[in-house]
Amino acid sequence: MNRLHSLLAYRPGVVLWLAVSALLVTSCLVDTDHRCGTHQVQQGDLCACESGFGLVGNQCVACAEHEVGTLTGCECAAGFGRADSSSPCAPTAALGQPCASDADCSDVTFQYCRLEGDSGYCTHTDCESSADCVNDYSCNAAADRSFCERPPTGFGQACATSADCANFEASYCESLSSKVCLKAACKADPSSCPGDWACCDIALLGNSLCLPQSELEAGACPAGGHLIPRSQ
């Protein structure tokens, strides 16, 4: 039940926010008779990295432009993302912009127009996993050329009933605890879940949900849910 509550309370961007906040409280207690290390500041009985530095091991390292420090190094600031793990942080405003062809996607990072019917959106190609994607986009490796696929519209929006989600692809309101819009009813067609998201049939909810891989536990669905394979 606790794991299910954690799952249903998922919000895009929460992990990044927690990491940035946690930077201010490192776990290393210090002797008040000794100063903190290089690029560290003392806050009460704790040492924390200075602004603009991230914690790597027990050292504070400088973050690059458009990065913020966390307890696991440096990450892209809000509104920025990487095309891959070796690329610098770039603005993500162009990600998801409407397009009709690649010519409409002028941003060097998100220059691929993914067409879906009569409309499309700007994203980038050649991802190896969802770690190469940002803003809850996930890697679709089943296409002829892998690309970062957008999440369902409305995903994570606050709701009271499913009527609040009716205009979104994520048209199901999980009203048990988290009260957010999710994409549901994927059991009949697991491939309707974007990218590498999983389709989990959760008996407690009486519904099947499209869930990001980050919400699975060793590849298994949370709350005793049953994983519906895409090959079905």
- Give residue 89's pLDDT: 83
180 or 199: which leads in pLDDT: 199
Mean pLDDT of 19-39: 51
Which range is least confidently modeled, 53-57, 86-90, 151-155?
86-90
The average pLDDT across 66-72 equals 84
pLDDT band at 19 (very low <50, low <70, confident <90, very high): very low
Give the pLDDT of residue 76. Answer: 83
Average pLDDT value for residue range 146-158: 92
pLDDT at 143: 86
What contacts 231, CB < 8 A, 6 or more positions away? Answer: none
For the chain, what percent of residues have pLDDT higher than 70? Answer: 82
Q: Is the pLDDT confidence value at 21 over 70?
A: no
The CA distance from 105 to 127, in Å, is 18
Please report the pLDDT score of residue 22 as a whole number.
38
Residue 122's pLDDT band, with cuts at 50, 70 and 90, is very high
Res 58: pLDDT: 84
Exposed / middle / buried, residue 199 (Cβ in 10 Å: 0-12, 13-18, 19+): buried
Q: What is the pLDDT of residue 20?
A: 33
Mean pLDDT of 72-100: 81
Does residue 108 register a pLDDT over 70?
yes
209: left (phi over 0), alpha (psi -120 to 50) or beta: beta
HSE at residue 225, side-chain half, CA atoms within 13 A, is 30
Q: Does position 33 have pLDDT exceeding 70, yes or no?
A: no
The pLDDT value recorded for residue 196 is: 93
Residue whose entry in the numeric block shows the structure tokens 């420090």: 69
Element (H, E) at 134: none
Instruction: Read off the pLDDT of each residue in 152-171 and give the average, rounded to a whole number.
Output: 92
Contact (CB, 8 A) for 24 and 42 = no
